[in-house]
């Protein structure tokens, strides 16, 4: 717990008076965030390109898992948390690279950078768009696995787990995807960069979800939820203070 | 006391190999770069000699060229560094 | 070329001192301290195991410091420090993992197990390997430095994870040296005075080794960059 959180808190303190000096900073900031998220959402509602392919991808992944692992009912109980999270992670990665690559190729990110808004507002706008997308996939997966694996995944605790995991994963995913779009082999670089950093999240989420699904006592899943929450805060703070350095040009 | 001294040897051997690989890799790249720098030095010296010769040869028919050539060499960032 | 001769002499002296220190540390670990009662000779691996992890931890901390300093000052020297510390850290954590494996084989009866501690160290190693991939994937040098600094800071999350995972999740069989020990570690042992002294000497030695290796790696990087710059200039002139 040494250098990283200290640095981010210093950055936040430095940024705070600058923003307070501006007129009505809070509403402006969140308006910008909302506008960017809404822009992505509207484009997606119109084309339905990403969500259709992702739902199909999710369906196929679940089928591949059940065929490859030859799951009987006992085995399903044990691996369902892993199947859930691995599918979310892979589908999410496809989504992040699409969302940022489209922005980069059209050059619309450069146009957004010219707008007089805080760089981090740009980040949170993109991130909320991606988060909605990951949440839709998670929701579809919950229904799908409940039906196909015959295990009820619709539990409030698991929803909390999914929310916390998705927030952390989307934050770090959006941040890293905005770097990897500049690389030569961006499709291969994104998983290489993103997986090691998000594996702590993934492990906590899988272990925690498995404990919840197996109806273990709270001391078996509570530490994982706490770890997820701490990781979310660290990643959000890191993204808030670092995104400006990625997009500056 | 269990007899497992061969694993201790294995562990220390692995450490020695990685450590030596690290040092050797730095050393090898250093040698390579130093060698390259030598080549650059050599090439640069030849280049300068050539230019000086060309400048002296060009000085008789066109006086401006002779005055120009040394100035170019002096302005080049390479000559500043050496 | 540009280095003050004073500093070069300091580095040379430090290098010689490190070699001597390392020889003493090895003597202490291999001969001076007796074999541990329950684990036997293989316990001697532990000094190097912990020492190299300390070195890796210091290296990756240096990467974070270098990343923050680069983003603040934009001086390329910080980027050089970042690159050097990641490479040395990767080497040292490879030593940690491999010595750990040779210890685990007789004690745990397996080379590798998906224990939280071992898993998190593997993740840490992969994260810093990815750092090098990111560097080689970005062509524009200024952007390469900037992204490397950002990723070097983010990747430290995996180091933190390695350190806190055994506190959050005490179902690891990996012994914890510092801090509270969990219920059922496999392969912990009683620390005698000699073991403690040897351990501290090894930790100190590895910290010095890390610093000296990073220093040499920085010199190498400066030389490589100078040569490639001069080559470019020469080509531009032709």
Residue span of the structural domain in which B28 resides: 5-81
Interface test with A, best of C79, C154, C156 (most A CBs within 10 A): C154
**Max mean pLDDT range (A93-97, A183-187, B5-9, C49-53):** C49-53
Contact B5 C40 (CB under 8 A): yes
Residue B69 binned pLDDT confidence (cut-offs 50, 70, 90): very low
pLDDT at C191 over 90: no
Q: What is the pLDDT of residues A215-227, one digit of tens each?
A: 888 777 888 898 8
The residue ranges of every structural domain in chain C are 5-28+46-111+140-149+193-237
Q: Are A81 and A51 in contact (CB under 8 A)?
A: no
Domain count of chain A?
1
Give the pLDDT score at A146: 87
**Which has the higher per-residue pLDDT, C38 or A235?**
A235
When comparing pLDDT for B77 and C62, which is higher? C62
Paired tokens of A178: 């905005």
How many CB atoms lie under 10 A from the CB of residue A44?
17
Tell me what the mean pLDDT of segment A44-56 comes to.
82
Tokens for C97, please give them. Answer: 């993992």
Name every chain C residue with its beta carbon within 8 A of the beta carbon of B7.
41-42, 45, 102-103, 105-106
Query: For all residues of chain C together, what is the average pLDDT?
Result: 87
Q: How far is A47 from chain C (nearest CA, A)?
A: 32
Q: Which domain holds residue A68?
A: 3-247
pLDDT at B81 over 50: no
- Residue A36, pLDDT above cutoff 90: no
The reported pLDDT for the residue numbered A11 is: 44
pLDDT band at A176 (very low <50, low <70, confident <90, very high): very high
CB-closest option in B10, B29, B40 to C102 = B10
pLDDT tens by residue, C149-167: 999 999 999 998 888 877 7
Q: What is the DSSP string of A205-221?
A: HHHHHHHHHTT--HHHH
Q: State the angle between helix axes of B63-75 and B5-59 in degrees (0 to 180), rounded to the nearest 10.
A: 160
Residues contacting residue C124 through CB under 8 Å, at least 6 positions apart: A196, C60, C93, C155, C158, C159, C161, C162
pLDDT score at A55: 86
Contact B15 C95 (CB under 8 A): yes
Least confident of A144-148, A209-213, C33-37, C175-179: C175-179
* Torsion region of C106: left, alpha or beta (phi above 0 gives left; psi -120 to 50 gives alpha): alpha
- Subunit contact C158:A182, Cβ cutoff 8 A: no
Under 8 Å between Cβ of A90 and A98: no
A189/C146 CB distance under 8 A: no
- What integer pLDDT is reported at residue B59 of this predicted model? 56
DSSP C179: S
**Euclidean distance between CA atoms A239 and A198, whole angstroms:** 14
Question: Which residue in chain A is spatially nearest to C70 when comparing CA positions?
Answer: A245
> DSSP secondary-structure letter at A154?
-
- The residue among B3, B5, B9, B10 with the most chain C CBs within 10 A of its CB, best to mutate, is B10
Band of residue C188 on the pLDDT scale cut at 50, 70, 90: low
Q: Give the number of domains in chain B.
A: 1
- Tens-digit pLDDT profile for residues B9-62: 899 999 999 999 999 999 999 999 999 999 999 988 888 898 888 887 765 554
C108: closest CA of chain B, how far (Å)? 12
pLDDT digits (tens, 9 = 90+) for C99-153: 999 988 888 888 888 888 888 899 999 999 999 999 999 989 999 999 999 999 9
Mutate which: A15, A179, A184, vs C, most C CBs within 10 A: A179
Alpha-carbon gap, residue A241 to A2, rounded angstroms: 17
């Amino acid at each position: 717990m040494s250098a990283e959180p200290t640095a981010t808190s210093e950055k936040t303190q430095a940024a705070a008076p600058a923003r307070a000096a501006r007129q009505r900073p809070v509403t402006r900031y969140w308006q910008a965030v909302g506008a960017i998220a809404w822009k992505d959402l509207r484009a997606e509602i119109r084309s339905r390109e990403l969500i259709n392919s992702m739902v199909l991808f999710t369906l196929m992944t679940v089928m591949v898992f059940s065929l490859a692992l030859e799951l009987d009912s006992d085995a399903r109980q044990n691996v369902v948390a892993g199947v859930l999270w691995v599918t979310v992670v892979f589908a999410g990665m496809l989504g992040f690279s699409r969302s940022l690559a489209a922005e980069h190729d059209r050059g619309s990110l450069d146009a957004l950078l010219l707008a007089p808004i805080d760089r981090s507002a740009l980040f949170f706008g993109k991130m909320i768009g991606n988060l909605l997308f990951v949440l839709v996939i998670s929701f579809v997966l919950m229904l799908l696995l409940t039906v196909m694996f015959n295990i009820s995944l619709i539990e409030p605790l698991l929803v909390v787990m999914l929310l916390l995991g998705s927030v952390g994963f989307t934050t770090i995913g959006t941040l890293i995807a905005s770097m990897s779009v500049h690389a030569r082999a961006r499709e291969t670089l994104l998983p290489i960069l993103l997986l090691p950093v998000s594996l702590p999240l993934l492990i906590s989420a899988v272990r925690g979800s498995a404990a919840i699904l197996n109806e273990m006592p709270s001391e078996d899943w509570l530490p994982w939820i706490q770890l997820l929450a701490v990781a979310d805060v660290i990643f959000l703070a890191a993204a808030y203070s670092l995104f400006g350095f990625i997009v500056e040009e | 006391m269990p007899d497992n001294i061969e694993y201790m040897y294995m562990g220390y051997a692995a450490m020695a190999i990685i450590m030596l690989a690290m040092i050797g890799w730095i050393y090898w790249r250093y040698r390579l770069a130093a060698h390259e720098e030598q080549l650059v030095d050599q090439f640069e010296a030849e280049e300068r000699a050539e230019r000086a010769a060309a400048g002296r040869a060009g000085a008789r028919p066109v006086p401006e060229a002779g005055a120009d050539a040394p100035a170019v060499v002096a302005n080049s960032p390479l000559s500043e560094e050496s | 070329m540009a280095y003050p001769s004073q500093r070069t002499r300091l580095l040379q002296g430090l290098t010689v001192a490190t070699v001597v220190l390392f020889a003493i540390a090895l003597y202490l670990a291999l001969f001076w301290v007796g074999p541990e009662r329950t684990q036997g000779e293989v316990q001697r691996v532990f000094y190097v195991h912990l020492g190299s992890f300390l070195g890796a931890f210091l290296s990756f901390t240096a990467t974070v410091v270098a990343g923050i300093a680069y983003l603040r000052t934009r001086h390329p020297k910080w980027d050089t420090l970042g690159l050097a510390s990641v490479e040395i850290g990767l080497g040292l954590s490879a030593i940690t993992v491999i010595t750990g494996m040779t210890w685990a084989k007789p004690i745990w009866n397996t080379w590798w197990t998906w224990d939280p501690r071992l898993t998190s160290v593997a993740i840490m190693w992969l994260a810093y390997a990815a750092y090098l991939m990111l560097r080689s994937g970005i062509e524009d040098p200024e952007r390469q430095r900037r992204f490397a600094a950002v990723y070097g800071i983010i990747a430290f999350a995996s180091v933190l994870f390695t350190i806190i995972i055994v506190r959050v999740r005490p179902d690891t069989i990996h012994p914890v040296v510092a801090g509270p020990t969990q219920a059922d570690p496999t392969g912990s042992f009683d620390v005698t005075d000699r073991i403690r002294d040897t351990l501290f000497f090894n930790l100190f030695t590895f910290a010095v080794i890390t610093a000296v290796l990073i220093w040499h790696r920085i010199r190498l990087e400066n030389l490589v960059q100078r040569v490639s710059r001069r080559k470019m200039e020469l080509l531009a002139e032709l």
